[in-house]
Structure 1
Amino acid sequence: MPSASPQATIIGSIAILLWSTLALFTTQANAVPPLLLLALTFGVASVLFFIVYLFKGELRRSWRKTPTSAMVMGGLGFFLYHFCYFYAFQHAPPVEAGLIAYLWPLLIVLMVGMSRGNSLLWTHLVGAVIAFIGTGIMLQSRSQGSQIEGTALGYTAAFACAFLWSGYSVSNRRFAHVPSSSVLWYCAITTLLAAGSHLALEPSQWSFSASTWVAIIGLGFGPVGIAFFCWDMGVKRGNLSLLGVLSYTAPALSTAWLGLFTEEVLSQGQIVACLMITAGALFASLMPTKKINRTLPTSQ
């Protein structure tokens, strides 16, 4: 496997910054049913990618170079993760839902540590314990300004987000040979799945405020659009271990945006939990496995 590209790692880190705004935009679009929100945001992203790759003349090449197995994994991964994410934010307080969902960087480190040719170090285990203690503290606290009462399904959906995205990111290394333009097809599949599910399961509702439409378009262009291209390139060609470390800043950034730009009032427990989750994930990465770049398979 070729060595990690510094440029790809930098591009991958842009996705982390964009994803830190995902919770903020999602709270602004909470009036939209989750499947409809999924269809609209990924529809915006699909149109964006289609126009870009049409002008670059890469549509046919991308279709030929993207195997069906990659399309299925990417489309289902995007669909399931974001449905769980949007559902969690509508059925659990935003701060709690966001911090639970952002356990995925820690899970990436643990999954890599348990992969073939690597070993799970004591720092991984201690970091995991610290982060999960922080999660427990957070679940015991309550946001003073939140108008959403947490439900078991809401919190479960947030935990599912963490496992879905970490699993997708590690598994995606098998498709390092697939061009990053493949995210167009992943987004298109997600849009079709979400639209069909919305028509079958949700009541039709289109009367949204202007600010909600701005949030939908913002989601489609940023954390749901451009971020995926950046992350796809980063995890396939960059330093996945370093990207995992950088990802640990996302929970703090995401919580900060919610505190600054929404009516959410952060409790002391939530602040402590945020710091513990971030610190635990960082501690888990202090002694990364030395064979990470050699042992993560590019194909199976």
Structure 2
Amino acid sequence: MHQIHLLTQRYFSVAAALVAVVLWSAAPLLSEQARGLAPLPLAAFTLLAGALATLPLSRRQPTGHLSLRWRLAIWMGLPLLTTGAVSSYFLGMRLAPASDAALITYTWPVLFILLSQWLTFGRVRFASVLGALIAFAGAALLMAPEAGRSSESSLIGYGFAALAAVCWALYSWLCQATPVTLTPLMPRILLIASVVTAAAFVPFAEGHIALPDNTTLLAGLAIGLGPFGIAMVAWDKALRLGKASVIGSLAYGVPVLAAAFLVLAGMSVLDWRLPIAGALVVGGCLQASRR
């Protein structure tokens, strides 16, 4: 009976991770539809929508028994990492080609593996270092100047995409390390992140905020409900119930799916660098997760 329960948990964790992967893959396409709103207001709006989307899953879960360090990590660290990840992601998508920025952002699984190994065992395996070098070579291929394509704006966008990757890696590790499940706390975490993001935008608002059109509003709402709402809950469940190596490896398909969605929608041009970079990123992540 216990083995059946473990097997059910394993399949459920994989299914939850796949839900998150598909929703995350749709995020670049939806963010292109939401260009009518500046990156920081868009981030604040999507995080608010995510908080509302996860509200039915919320229940009171006391955290007072946790040490001060863990309470700060949950109520300050996670919202700040979420703010950094989502805001940097949208900034990267605006300043650099969307498919390139998405691919760079989704080098975070290999960063997650390196971080987990270092903090758990105090060392990083050679296979993981080699995988990281391969994955980062794919990201570097996109950032290499070619016929004036990589402008100064694009390079800044690549930097924001890399920052988003670091934030997502730290966020995933913290989600896995916390001694309590985060699903009941997710609405409050996302709401705090939304408030922080909105506050960060206020100095740049110059006294007015333009109302978004219907397309932008619907796209932003879809991002909040899906990639930054349901997907984050599904990912937390997957990390809690499944093996980190298996669950992390499923995230490697996100940049490939995201690029495919953008190309199929006619919002990105498929040149020779994108598939090669995608293969390097996915191959590097697989190499890094080898036992």
The TM-score normalised by the length of structure 1 is 0.84
Change in Cα spacing, 1:258 to 1:147, as seen in structure 2 (3 Å) is farther
The 5-angstrom pairing of residues 278-297 of structure 1 reads: 278-287=282-291
Give the unaligned 5+ runs of structure 2: 1-5
Give the unaligned 5+ runs of structure 1: 288-300
Q: Provide the residue aligned with 2:255 in structure 1.
A: 251
Q: Provide the residue aligned with 1:60 in structure 2.
A: 60
Change in Cα spacing, 1:62 to 1:33, as seen in structure 2 (3 Å) is farther
CA shift for structure 1 position 136: 1.9
Alignment counterpart, residue 137 of structure 1, candidates 141, 146, 153: 141
Alignment counterpart, residue 198 of structure 2, candidates 195, 200, 224: 195
CA shift for structure 1 position 94: 0.7
1:266 and 2:270 are equivalent in the alignment = yes
Q: More deviation in 22-31 or 60-69?
A: 60-69
The 5-angstrom pairing of residues 208-247 of structure 1 reads: 208-247=212-251
Report if aligned partners of 2:176, 2:239 keep a CA contact under 8 Å in 1.
yes
Q: Provide the residue aligned with 1:39 in structure 2.
A: 44
Letter in 2 for 1:113: Q
1:16 and 2:21 are equivalent in the alignment = yes
Q: Cα deviation per residue 1:197-217 (whole Å; 9 max; x = unaligned)?
A: 222323433343322122111
CA–CA separation in structure 2 for the residues paired with 1:65 and 1:228:
25
Report if aligned partners of 1:37, 1:216 keep a CA contact under 8 Å in 2.
yes
Report if aligned partners of 1:137, 1:269 keep a CA contact under 8 Å in 2.
yes
Report if aligned partners of 2:144, 2:150 keep a CA contact under 8 Å in 1.
no
Q: More deviation in 96-105 or 191-200?
A: 191-200
1:99 and 2:126 are equivalent in the alignment = no
Give the length in aligned residue pairs.
279
- Helix, strand or coil for the counterpart of 2:202? helix
1:183 and 2:186 are equivalent in the alignment = yes
CA–CA separation in structure 2 for the residues paired with 1:243 and 1:143:
39
CA shift for structure 1 position 174: 2.5
Change in Cα spacing, 1:208 to 1:286, as seen in structure 2 (3 Å) is same
Alignment counterpart, residue 172 of structure 2, candidates 169, 173, 179: 169
CA–CA separation in structure 2 for the residues paired with 1:142 and 1:270:
13
CA–CA separation in structure 1 for the residues paired with 2:166 and 2:37:
25
Q: Cα deviation per residue 1:237-268 (whole Å; 9 max; x = unaligned)?
A: 32111111111111101111111113311111
The TM-score normalised by the length of structure 2 is 0.86
Report if aligned partners of 1:143, 1:267 keep a CA contact under 8 Å in 2.
no
CA shift for structure 1 position 64: 6.7
